[in-house]
Amino acid sequence: MFAYTITDFISFVKSNFLLIISLTVVTYVIQYYVNYFNRSSRIPGPFPLPFIGNLHQIGGDLSSAANLFQKRYGDLYEFYMGNKRIIVISRPDLVEKVWGPLSLKSTRFIMRNPFSEGLDELGLGTKGMVFNRDIESWNMNRKLLVPSISSPPFLRESIKLCSEIIDEVFECWKIMGEGAQVEFSDWIDALTADVVIRTATGKKVSSITKLFDSLNIKEKLEMQGVWQDGTDFIQAIHTYNESMGFMMLLPTFFRRNFPGIGKLNKKFLDNRDWIIKELDKMVAERRREIESIPLDQPLEQTILTLLLVTNTERDSKKNSSSKLDRPLTNEEIIPIIREVFTGGLDTTANTLSFIGFYIAKHRDVYLKMRKEVLDVYGTLDNPNITFESYGKLKYIEAVINESIRIFPTVSIIARTSVEEEEFDGFTIQPDTAIYTDFKALGNDPKYFKEPEIFNPDRFFNDKESIGKYSHLPFGNGVRMCPGRLWAIVQMKTFLVKLLCKFDIEPVCENDIPKYVYATVNRPVDIKLLLKTRKD
The least confident of 64-68, 152-156, 245-249, 525-529 is: 245-249
- Residue 421, φ and ψ in degrees, nearest 5: -130, 165
- Give the tens place of pLDDT for each residue, 199-229: 999 888 889 988 998 888 877 777 666 787 7
Alpha carbons 487 and 354: distance in angstroms, whole number = 14
Q: What amino acid is encoded at 392 in this protein?
A: K
- Give the tens place of pLDDT for each residue, 334-392: 999 999 998 888 899 999 999 999 999 999 999 999 999 999 999 999 999 999 999 99
- 3-state secondary structure (DSSP) of residue 41: coil
125 in Cβ contact with 133 (< 8 Å): yes
The least confident of 198-207, 245-254, 524-533 is: 245-254
Alpha carbons 455 and 398: distance in angstroms, whole number = 9
- Give the tens place of pLDDT for each residue, 234-243: 899 989 988 9
How would DSSP label each residue in 140-195? HHHHHHHHHHHSHHHHHHHHHHHHHHHHHHHHHHHHH-TT-EEEHHHHHHHHHHHH
Alpha carbons 525 and 391: distance in angstroms, whole number = 32
The gap from C-alpha 342 to its chain's centroid, in whole angstroms, comes to 7
Residue closest to 439 by CA, chosen among 388, 491, 515:
515
Please tell me the total number of residues recorded for the chain in this structure. 535
Neighbours of 20 (CB within 10 A): 13
Alpha carbons 332 and 338: distance in angstroms, whole number = 11
- Give the tens place of pLDDT for each residue, 109-137: 888 888 889 999 999 999 988 899 998 88
Residue closest to 339 by CA, chosen among 61, 99, 142:
142
Q: Is the per-residue pLDDT at 37 higher than 60?
A: yes
* Cα dist from 496 to 185, 347, 370, 412, 533, whole Å: 18, 19, 8, 29, 13
pLDDT-derived band at 69, boundaries 50, 70, 90: very high
**CB-based contacts of 410: which residues, under 8 Å, 6+ apart?**
347, 438, 520, 521
pLDDT at 39: 66
Choice between 42 and 268, residue whose per-residue pLDDT is larger: 268
Provide the terminal-to-terminal Cα distance of the chain, rounded to the nearest Å: 98
Annotated ligand binding at 481? The verdict is yes
pLDDT at 2: 43
Q: Is the per-residue pLDDT at 165 higher than 70?
A: yes
Alpha carbons 200 and 197: distance in angstroms, whole number = 5
pLDDT at 304: 93
Residue closest to 433 by CA, chosen among 78, 23, 44:
78
Please state whether 179 falls in left (phi above 0), alpha (psi between -120 and 50) or beta. left
- Give the tens place of pLDDT for each residue, 398-427: 999 999 999 999 999 999 988 898 999 999
How big is the CA angle at 312 (ends 307 and 315), to the nearest 5 degrees?
70
Choice between 323 and 475, residue whose per-residue pLDDT is larger: 475
Residue closest to 142 by CA, chosen among 483, 508, 494, 529:
483
Average pLDDT, the chain: 87
Q: Is the per-residue pLDDT at 449 higher than 90?
A: yes
**Buried residues in 236-269 as b, exposed as e (16+ CB within 10 A):** bbbbbbbbbbbbbbbbeebbeeeeeeeeebeebb
Q: What percent of the chain has pLDDT over 90?
A: 54
Neighbours of 146 (CB within 10 A): 18
The sign of the CA dihedral 364, 365, 370, 374 is: positive
Alpha carbons 404 and 491: distance in angstroms, whole number = 12
Neighbours of 10 (CB within 10 A): 10
- Long-range pairs for 55-58: beta carbons < 8 A, 24 or more residues apart: 55/81, 55/82, 55/250
pLDDT at 17: 59
Q: What amino acid is encoded at 498 in this protein?
A: L
* Cα dist from 264 to 77, 117, 122, whole Å: 30, 16, 14
Q: Is the per-residue pLDDT at 293 higher than 70?
A: yes
Alpha carbons 99 and 110: distance in angstroms, whole number = 9
Alpha helical stretches, state H, 292-329: 303-308
pLDDT-derived band at 27, boundaries 50, 70, 90: low
For β-strands 84-89 and 433-437, DSSP reports them as parallel
Q: Is the per-residue pLDDT at 463 higher than 70?
A: yes
pLDDT-derived band at 1, boundaries 50, 70, 90: very low
pLDDT at 81: 85
Query: Domain 142-408+473-532 carries which CATH code?
Result: 1.10.630.10
Average pLDDT rounded to a whole number, residues 477-484: 87
pLDDT at 343: 86
Going from N- to C-terminal start, the domains of the chain cover: 142-408+473-532
152 in Cβ contact with 387 (< 8 Å): yes
Residue closest to 261 by CA, chosen among 55, 22, 28:
55
The gap from C-alpha 22 to its chain's centroid, in whole angstroms, comes to 43
Average pLDDT rounded to a whole number, residues 186-190: 94
The H or E element that residue 237 is part of is: helix 230-249
Average pLDDT rounded to a whole number, residues 53-79: 92
Average pLDDT rounded to a whole number, residues 3-20: 57
Average pLDDT rounded to a whole number, residues 154-169: 94
pLDDT-derived band at 12, boundaries 50, 70, 90: low
Choice between 30 and 279, residue whose per-residue pLDDT is larger: 279
Q: Is the per-residue pLDDT at 4 higher than 70?
A: no
Most confident range (mean pLDDT) of 25-29, 99-103, 191-195, 211-215 is: 191-195
**pTM of the shown model:** 0.89
Residue closest to 249 by CA, chosen among 435, 108, 11, 39:
435
- Helix 394-406 × helix 363-377 angle, to 10°: 150
pLDDT-derived band at 89, boundaries 50, 70, 90: very high
